[in-house]
Amino acid sequence: MKKNTPVLSDTEEVLTQSPEIDYEPKPLSLRNQIIWTVKITAIAALFFAILWVCES
């Protein structure tokens, strides 16, 4: 007995194939590292400032 498998055209086969995904982290430039560090520090400072204001 034959299985009912759909016959795909060439373009459909290409569209259904998923490309390999690269999960390696991309290296950050020094500029982006500095910007990221400043943003995280500002968020932490804001968080602790809110805690400090709420305590007093």
pTM (2 d.p.)? 0.52
Structure confidence at residue 34 (pLDDT): 97
Amino acid at 39: K
- With a cut of 70, say whether residue 11 has pLDDT above it: no
**pLDDT tens by residue, 18-37:** 778 888 888 889 999 999 99
Spatial separation of the C-alpha atoms in residues 37 and 23, rounded to whole Å: 23
- At residue 56 the predicted structure's pLDDT band, cuts being 50, 70 and 90, is confident
pLDDT, tens only, 35-49: 999 999 999 999 999
